């Protein structure tokens, strides 16, 4: 099909390359759009800048989540499922493309798309870029120009039709998701599916940390969220102990204790991780802190200290046997 027409948007032209099916999608905040795209320069060679098919994974955007290239939502809203269309967009709509492409390329390369621009406002990031790290994108950033987008729309899903990523949830959705994830994690622990349970606890923590980032530290809202985070982190650490990920436990319990230095359960889990990696002195110190902070755990601490002593004695015996012959002179023939 070679129909070319103007969208009801200044600086945009559309050509349908392959017709789609059904009605035009009704986009709403939270709708997920899945599509492939190709970006070309408006030059004689139609130079290809990006092609999502090279990565092998379709592009996804969530409507209303401030995707930096707003014109894409407009273009996709004019397409039916299965449609392939070519859009010419004037430079007034493509000024942010270099930054968007930079992020997408970094994700495809397995790198952090926000590297170098964290803790900065959006406009500050724009002016702070001396280079995107890609020569072709640096050229687009210096000289904004018209671009051609060829898009193939696969589907549009309503917010209730798919599992939404944490970043795409509203505040209310995140708060509602936390107890559900907590319960699912507990259920998986009972089935001894510790890796899957840890993932549920971790997802719940991410929801709460995202909300916490918008609160002032140590004020009421922040503290209320922190009270929900702490048991989830402890549950996550217990799963990691079961999985033998001891250094992961050391990292998270230490971070937790820097904020809550009276948490006996955190000391207990850190002590067990120290013991597992042969940090005898650190393990004993943490176990003794547990008994001091929570006398009801004294019996458990006594049992752990006894096991630690037995393990360390056994290790010392094995070490002596292993090394006893290293410094003896070689026997004669």
What is the CATH number for 133? 3.10.50.40
Q: By CB neighbour count within 10 A (0-12 exposed, 13-18 middle, 19+ buried), where does 166 fall?
A: middle
In-domain check, residue 162: no
H or E element in which residue 53 lies: helix 52-55
Q: By CB neighbour count within 10 A (0-12 exposed, 13-18 middle, 19+ buried), where does 110 fall?
A: exposed
Per-residue pLDDT of 110-162, as tens digits, reads 654 445 444 334 334 434 445 778 889 999 888 889 999 999 999 998 875 55
The answer to whether 92 touches 147, Cβ cutoff 8 Å, is: no
Q: Which of 204-229 are b and which e, b meaning 16 or more Cβ less than 10 Å from the residue's Cβ? A: bbbbbeebbeeeeeeeeebeebbebb
pTM of the model: 0.54
Mark whether 185 and 261 lie in a shared domain: yes
User: Tokens for 114?
Assistant: 């926000």
Angle, CA 280 vertex, CA 276 and CA 284 arms, to 5°: 105
Ranges of the chain whose pLDDT falls below 70? 1-3, 65-67, 110-130, 160-169, 319, 324-333
Can you give the CATH number for the domain in which 177 is found? 1.25.40.10
pLDDT computed for residue 121 by the predictor:
42
Mark whether 128 and 192 lie in a shared domain: no
Residues spanned by the domain of 113: 4-157
pLDDT computed for residue 187 by the predictor:
93
User: Tokens for 294?
Assistant: 């929570």
Mark whether 56 and 9 lie in a shared domain: yes
In-domain check, residue 131: yes
Mark whether 204 and 142 lie in a shared domain: no
Mark whether 202 and 103 lie in a shared domain: no
Mark whether 62 and 136 lie in a shared domain: yes
Mark whether 56 and 100 lie in a shared domain: yes
Nearest Cα residue to 56 out of 108, 134, 111, 113: 108
How far is residue 295's CA from residue 88's CA, in Å, rounded to a whole number?
72
How far is residue 162's CA from residue 17's CA, in Å, rounded to a whole number?
29
Mark whether 248 and 148 lie in a shared domain: no
Mark whether 150 and 46 lie in a shared domain: yes
Mark whether 148 and 193 lie in a shared domain: no
In-domain check, residue 308: yes
DSSP 8-state code for residue 296:
G
pLDDT computed for residue 325 by the predictor:
60
User: Tokens for 291?
Assistant: 């008994």
Mark whether 85 and 125 lie in a shared domain: yes
Mark whether 153 and 175 lie in a shared domain: no
In-domain check, residue 90: yes
Domain count, the chain: 2
In-domain check, residue 307: yes
User: Tokens for 20?
Assistant: 């789609």
Torsion of CA 43, 45, 46, 47, to 10 degrees: -100
């Amino acid at each position: 099909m070679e129909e070319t027409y103007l969208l009801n948007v200044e600086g945009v032209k559309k050509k349908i390359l392959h017709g789609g099916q059904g009605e035009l999608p009704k986009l709403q905040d939270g709708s997920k759009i899945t599509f492939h795209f190709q970006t070309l320069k408006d030059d004689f060679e139609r130079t290809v800048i990006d092609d999502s098919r090279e990565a092998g994974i379709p592009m996804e955007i969530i409507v209303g989540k401030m995707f930096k290239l707003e014109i894409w939502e407009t273009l996709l809203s004019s397409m039916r499922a299965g449609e392939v269309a070519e859009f010419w967009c004037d430079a007034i709509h493509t000024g942010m493309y270099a930054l968007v492409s930079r992020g997408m390329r970094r994700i495809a390369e397995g790198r952090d798309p926000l590297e170098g621009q964290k803790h900065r406002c959006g406009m500050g990031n724009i002016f702070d870029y001396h280079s995107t790290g890609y020569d072709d994108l640096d050229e687009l950033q210096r000289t904004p120009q018209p671009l051609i987008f060829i898009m193939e729309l696969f589907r549009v899903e309503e917010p209730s039709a798919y599992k939404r990523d944490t970043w795409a949830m509203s505040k209310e959705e995140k708060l509602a998701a936390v107890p559900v994830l907590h319960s699912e994690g507990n259920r998986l622990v009972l089935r001894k599916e510790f890796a899957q349970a840890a993932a549920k606890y971790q997802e719940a923590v991410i929801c709460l940390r995202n909300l916490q980032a918008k609160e002032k530290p140590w004020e009421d809202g922040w503290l209320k969220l922190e009270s929900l985070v702490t048991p989830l982190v402890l549950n996550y650490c217990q799963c990691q102990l079961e999985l033998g990920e001891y250094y992961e436990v050391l990292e998270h319990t230490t971070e937790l204790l820097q904020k809550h230095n009276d948490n006996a359960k955190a000391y207990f889990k850190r002590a067990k991780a120290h013991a597992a990696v042969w940090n005898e002195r650190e393990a004993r110190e943490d176990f003794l802190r547990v008994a001091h902070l929570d006398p009801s755990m004294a019996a458990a601490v006594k049992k752990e200290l006894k096991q630690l002593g037995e393990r360390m004695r056994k290790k010392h015996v094995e070490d002596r046997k292993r090394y006893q012959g290293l410094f003896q002179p070689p026997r004669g023939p």
